[in-house]
Amino acid sequence: MANPTDEAYTEFRLAFDHFNNYLFQGKLEVPMFTFQREKKTLGFHSKKSFVSRATGHMVDEIAMNPAYFAVRTVKQTLSTLAHEMVHQWQDVFGHPGRGRYHNKEWAFKMREIGLEPTDTGEPGGKDVGDKMTHYIIPSGKFEVACDELMHREFPQGSGRPFQISWLDRYPAERPQPRAKTGGDGSVLVAEDHDDDDADMIEAMGMVEMPSEEPVNKSNRIGFTCTICKQNAWGKPGLVVLCGMPECKGQPLVPGISRKQKKPE
């Protein structure tokens, strides 16, 4: 049996080298790759976050979230890798925006490599801002380079094309439209949905896909007074009485969503 650690990290190193040559003229230094289950994040780039004990040399980190490998296509996952490589490129050769701001230079480089920046995950969104995401430009440089990579035999002599071999068996929810990146460069991409890979993996019994039904993790519901319309939040089954003098202890009615704005 193959060494799972070597196999998983070697695949991302191969993809990095391929995109580095095709999209960045081989200018990027190989980073430290990590797998991290950062909540609601597909991946992130961190500048000079690792240092060699022996030499003092510092390298960047590119982290990928394995919780999403099974619920996104290989191409979508690799677009996250390329997105983080743009942040790496800008830190070395460009001028990153102040703090969390994704500036025009970043947006231009994203388009140059075949990823369209957007604050909504869909066409027509803003191309700069604190919180940004992207979608793949059809027939753009990234898609062409990615298609070539995915038709390459790997490992050599295996008779199978490049793929992401190791998947989290209990994956996160599939990314939904209008998800955004974090301001620190982390990315939760909202993209065109192509669930063929995920559906096939689920049908084979390889992973247990999460329910697509929304879950109320807080187990809290809203209550409202039918007289003054004041809202309160608490556990189901509570008996809540309105404390406003004019309501005289009127019981609050359950059923108000927590997402509704509380009265100011």
Cβ contacts of 127 within 8 Å, gap of 6 or more: 104, 107, 116, 117, 118, 119
Q: Are residues 83 and 49 in the same domain?
A: yes
> 211 in a domain, yes or no?
no
The label of the residue with tokens 């196999």 reads: 7
Of 33 and 251, the structure prediction assigns the larger pLDDT to 33
pLDDT higher than threshold 90 for residue 68:
yes
- pLDDT given at position 146: 98
DSSP annotation string for 15-39 = HHHHHHHHHSTT-SPP-EEEE---T
> 159 in a domain, yes or no?
yes
> How far lies 110's CA from each of 57, 61, 72, 127, 252, in Å?
28, 19, 20, 10, 52
pLDDT per position as a tens digit, 121-162 = 788 888 998 888 899 999 999 999 999 999 998 877 778 899
Structural domain for 245, as ranges:
221-256
> 213 in a domain, yes or no?
no
Q: Are residues 198 and 147 in the same domain?
A: yes
Q: Are residues 188 and 231 in the same domain?
A: no
- Beta strands 58-64 and 43-51: pairing type? antiparallel
Please work out, in degrees rounded to the nearest 5, the angle formed at the alpha carbon of residue 143 by the alpha carbons of 23 and 41: 85
CA–CA separation, 225 vs 231, rounded Å?
7
Main-chain phi, psi angles of 15, to 5 degrees: -65, -40
Q: Are residues 39 and 169 in the same domain?
A: yes
Phi-psi region of 190 (alpha: psi -120 to 50; beta: other; left: phi over 0): beta
Spatial strand order of the sheet with 253-256 comes to 231-234, 221-224, 253-256
CA–CA separation, 34 vs 5, rounded Å?
11
pTM of the model: 0.71
> 235 in a domain, yes or no?
yes
Q: Are residues 94 and 161 in the same domain?
A: yes
Please work out, in degrees rounded to the nearest 5, the angle formed at the alpha carbon of residue 18 by the alpha carbons of 115 and 147: 60
> 228 in a domain, yes or no?
yes
> 263 in a domain, yes or no?
no
Q: Are residues 113 and 40 in the same domain?
A: yes
Q: Are residues 228 and 182 in the same domain?
A: no
Q: What is the DSSP letter of 102?
A: B
> 214 in a domain, yes or no?
no
Task: Find the range with the poorest average confidence among 112-116, 134-138, 168-172, 210-214.
Answer: 210-214
Angle between helices 4-23 and 141-150 (to 10 degrees): 140
Tally of domains in the chain? 2
Q: Are residues 74 and 188 in the same domain?
A: yes
Task: Find the range with the poorest average confidence among 21-30, 88-97, 119-128.
Answer: 119-128
- H/E segment holding residue 224: strand 221-224
- pLDDT given at position 50: 97
- pLDDT given at position 259: 44
Q: Are residues 98 and 193 in the same domain?
A: yes
Main-chain phi, psi angles of 74, to 5 degrees: -60, -40
Q: Are residues 44 and 102 in the same domain?
A: yes
> 52 in a domain, yes or no?
yes
Q: Are residues 26 and 77 in the same domain?
A: yes
Q: Are residues 100 and 171 in the same domain?
A: yes
**Domain end call among 203, 232, 248:** 203
Grade residue 238 by pLDDT with cuts at 50, 70 and 90: confident
